[in-house]
Amino acid sequence: MTESEFILKDGFEYPNEGKVAWKAPSNIALVKYWGKKPNQIPANPSISFTLNACATTTSLAFKKLDKKSDTFSFDLFFEGKPKEEFAPKIITFFERIERYIPFLKEYHFIIETSNSFPHSSGIASSASGMAALALCLLSIEKLANPTLGEDYLKMKASFLARLGSGSACRSIEGDLIQWGAYEPISKSSDLYGIRYPFKVDSVFKNYHDTILLVHKGQKTVSSTVGHDLMHEHPFAQQRFQQADHNLNKLKEVFEKGNLNEFVNIVESEALTLHAMMMTSLPYFVLMKPNTLEIINRIWAFRKKSKTHVCFTLDAGANVHVLYPESEKKEVFQFIQDELVAFCENGHYICDRIGHGAKQLKG
Ligand code: DP6
């Protein structure tokens, strides 16, 4: 699909009012998106596990205005309370998608949103949040044009979500989502995420992700700033090639269920992401001492137990501990015995691979 195929056609009758709602999951990248071109085009392809427990629920009530407004008209509630701070992000998102959702200025919207994870957990809600909002808008489009197919709607939702936050385009479907043009996958695109099309061994079908909340405060540097710093980065080109290369290596790993190699690739990606932050100008460090402590303990335990527990990191201090279902008991015991002590207030979230967004109303 090309960008112009996402532009709405004229001639449909839009409802006067109504309400739609979606729950969209978060996702955790295995090969990281870090660096972008204009219009939210990724500098390299990425792939992620869709999560299950970490999700955003958003309802969108809409009412036609008497006449089309010059500005976007909406009220925003986060966890039941008005949330002015989120408005600029929504306005930027609406500006970016207006070309594809031209009815935006014809309505007054009431956006009510909440996260399944605690607000100040340091977990980014932009992926699940933008995905849920994009899906709500698509549900309105579908009310006007019921002939739109499921596949097109998912693709367009991913396309729109990407314009809100890049990684959000991987939060529409499950369970393994690839985003970014990448030659060996003919249907891959810079514009939206797709379900990973190659064979995936069943060991990856019910993977666990226990998220250790090492630092729940605001990050000192936003992802958007971090992406930007890749423009002048001395290692940028090598990094983008490495992402391609790692995605390529994962093909056989997924097909054969090769957990040792999975661990190598996933941990290398996480550390490379942070290495990029540490070697950009200005440089910055998002890991905390406890992040490193946890990593070292995972390595020691893996060696001792011969399990395949591994970690990955977001652009923050929290640690995602990944492990297969068959090792759940042993690894979870280890997490409780040795790792929870390094979490802020002992907090962590038990998540696992999930199957994508769900419509709740509309
Ligand atoms: C480290 O999607 O949050 O989580 O497009 O600027 O909103 P924007 O960035 P964002 O970046 C996510 C970066 C990452 C890696 C990843 O999810 O692939």
Pocket probe for ligand 1: among 28, 92, 223, the residue whose CB has the most ligand atoms within 8 Å is 223
Distance between CA atoms of residues 361 and 19, nearest Å = 7
With a 6 Å cutoff on the Cβ, whether 46 touches ligand 1 is yes
Contact 351, 119 (CB under 8 A): no
Instruction: Tell me which amino acid residue 35 is.
Output: G
pLDDT over 90 at 305, yes or no: yes
Q: Which mutation among 40, 130, 158, 167 tests ligand 1's pocket best, with the greatest number of atoms within 8 A of CB?
A: 167
Is residue 129 packed enough to be buried (19+ CB in 10 Å), middle (13-18) or exposed (0-12)? buried
Taking only the tens place, the pLDDT of each residue in 86-104 is 999 999 999 999 999 999 9
Residues 353 and 362: their CA atoms lie apart, in Å, by: 26
Banded pLDDT at 220 (limits 50, 70, 90): confident
pLDDT at 56 exceeding the cut of 90: yes
Residue-wise pLDDT tens digits, 167-206: 999 999 999 999 999 999 999 999 999 999 999 999 999 9
Mean pLDDT throughout 258-266?
Answer: 98
125 close to ligand 1 (CB < 6 Angstrom):
no
pLDDT band at 352 (very low <50, low <70, confident <90, very high): very high
**Count of alpha carbons within 13 Å of 180, Cβ hemisphere only?**
26
How high is the pLDDT of residue 8? 83
Tell me what pLDDT residue 118 has: 76
Angle at 269 between CA 89 and CA 337, to 5 degrees: 95
| pLDDT, average across residues 307-336 | 97
Would you say 28 and 313 are in contact if contact means Cβ atoms under 8 Å apart?
no
> Counting atoms of ligand 1 from 1, which one is nearest the CA of 166?
5
| pLDDT band with cut points at 50, 70 and 90 for residue 11 | confident
pLDDT at residue 304 greater than cutoff 70: yes
Residue that the structure tokens 């190699």 belong to: 261
Q: How much is the CA Rg of the chain, to the nearest whole Å?
A: 20
In the predicted structure, residue 225 carries a pLDDT above the cut 80: yes
Q: How confident is the model at residue 270 (pLDDT cuts 50, 70, 90)?
A: very high
Q: Whole-angstrom Cα distance, residue 94 to residue 88?
A: 10
Is the model's pLDDT at 6 over the cut of 80?
yes
- The two structure tokens encoding residue 233: 């980065």
* pLDDT confidence bin for 117, thresholds 50/70/90: confident
Q: Look at the chain and count its residues.
A: 362
Residue 221 has pLDDT above 80, yes or no: yes
Indicate whether residue 223 lines ligand 1 (CB < 6 A): yes
Residue 171 Cβ contacting ligand 1 at under 6 Å: no
| Whether residue 222 has pLDDT greater than 90 | no
Atom of ligand 1 nearest to the CA of 36: 5
Q: Whose CA is nearest to atom 6 of ligand 1?
A: 224
Helices 126-144 & 150-164 angle (0-180, nearest 10)? 140
Atom from ligand 1 closest to the CA of residue 168: 2
Q: What is the pTM of this model?
A: 0.97
Ligand 1 in reach of 31 Cβ (< 6 A): no
- Confidence at 10, pLDDT banded by 50, 70, 90: confident
**Mean pLDDT score of the chain, rounded to an integer?**
96
Distance separating the N- and C-terminal Cα atoms of the chain: 26
Residue percentage of the chain with pLDDT more than 90: 91
Pocket perturbation via mutation, ligand 1, pick of 133, 211, 227, 284 by most ligand atoms within 8 A of CB: 227
User: Closest residue (by CA) to atom 7 of ligand 1?
Assistant: 165
Alpha carbon of 64 to ligand 1 centroid (Å): 34
Can you give the pLDDT at residue 42? 98
Question: What are the pLDDT digits (tens) for 18-35?
Answer: 999 999 999 999 999 999
> In this predicted structure, what is the pLDDT of residue 120?
67
Is 166's C-beta closer than 6 angstroms to any atom of ligand 1? yes
Do residues 212 and 342 touch, judged by C-beta distance below 8 A? yes
Lowest mean pLDDT among 211-225, 254-268, 275-289: 211-225
Q: Is the pLDDT of residue 122 over 80?
A: no
pLDDT at 129 over 90: yes
